[in-house]
Amino acid sequence: MTRLVLVHGRDLDGLDPETLEKQWLAALGAGLADAGSPLRPTDPDASFVYYGDTLERLVGGGAPPPVTVHAPGAGTATLPRLLRALPHGELTFALAVAREVLAGAGRPQAVEAEGVVVDALVEALVAALGAVDRWLPGLSAAVLLTLTRDVYAYLHDDEVRRALDAGLADALAGDEPAVVVAHSLGSVVAYSVLATRATGPEVPLLITPGSPLGIRAIREALQALAPLEFPARVDRWVSVRDPRDLLALHDLTPAAFLLAAGSPGIENLRVTNRAPGFHAAAHRLDDATWAGYLALPEVAGPVGAALT
């Protein structure tokens, strides 16, 4: 029997994992129905790897710094003070991600346009986050900062990485094949775990909707841990993104995510995500229909086929 393993993304601390799993399975069921599949995975069929509260506690024991920089100078009395509490490496990482996102959205000069002096690292990050809020309506600075802090903690803090990796390893325990669906930050965790496992269950399908793996700062941090490899136990890897999803900035082509010579290729699929912000895995709209990556037949169909 092939199992379904679900790995969520960023900023889900304080939420009920059972409710989240039901939402993911409901969205996936809607996508399967649209794909013409009779399959409807339920709770006993799936393992939902929830690390939201664990990550929130490990990263800092509290909410990420509030970011409400909507105009030049707004929030500058609070944000720099909060950012100065972060390590230099984390500030540099966050700034690199923010500037790449702005460039990917066609706003490479947005930071300078904010009129903020960028000599100091904190001021540069304040400027970049302000530009995100001003120029990128599908993304907020708070969301981007939360993602960068979580990814940085996972890639640079051994305690965080061990805790998150252990959760996914538990879900993959056993001999039965497992289809892994890993969204957003979850794709970083899933790649890291699967790429370092030479043994374990076969993974007929790894599907990574909304993945930030192609962002240069994230890719380089992964490369510092180990060379990029196609996971040995994975038969097929499909990267899915809506081009408007600025947290999934690049297709995972060799230009953005170069694997070792001779590796199988990563399949790249572009879709239209109807969820607000274009990034969510599962989101219920006001008309009670499901949106998000999992609700798309292009995503759900391959999952259903791999499960059966």
pLDDT of 77 > 60? The answer is no
Q: How far apart are CA 180 and CA 14, in angstroms?
A: 24
Answer with the residue of higher pLDDT: 254 or 10: 254
Judge whether 68 lies within some domain.
Answer: no
pLDDT tens digits for range 112-134: 544 443 346 888 888 888 899 88
Distances (CA, A) of 110 to 94, 117, 124, 273: 16, 13, 12, 26
pLDDT tens digits for range 225-266: 999 999 999 999 999 999 999 999 999 999 999 998 889 999
pLDDT given at position 57: 65
The model carries a pTM of 0.88
Lowest mean pLDDT among 1-10, 173-182, 221-230, 260-269: 1-10
Judge whether 111 lies within some domain.
Answer: yes
Query: Stretch 274-281: mean pLDDT, rounded?
Result: 95
Token couple for 248: 């999934």
Interstrand relation of 290-291 and 283-284 (parallel, antiparallel or unpaired): antiparallel
112 and 240 housed in the same domain:
no
212 and 279 housed in the same domain:
yes
Provide the CATH number for the domain around residue 227. 3.40.50
**Confidence band (pLDDT; 50, 70, 90) for 137?**
confident
Q: How far apart are CA 285 and CA 274, in angstroms?
A: 9
126 and 49 housed in the same domain:
no
Of 87, 89, 183, 95, the C-alpha closest to 132 is 95
Domains contained in the chain, number:
2
**Confidence band (pLDDT; 50, 70, 90) for 84?**
confident
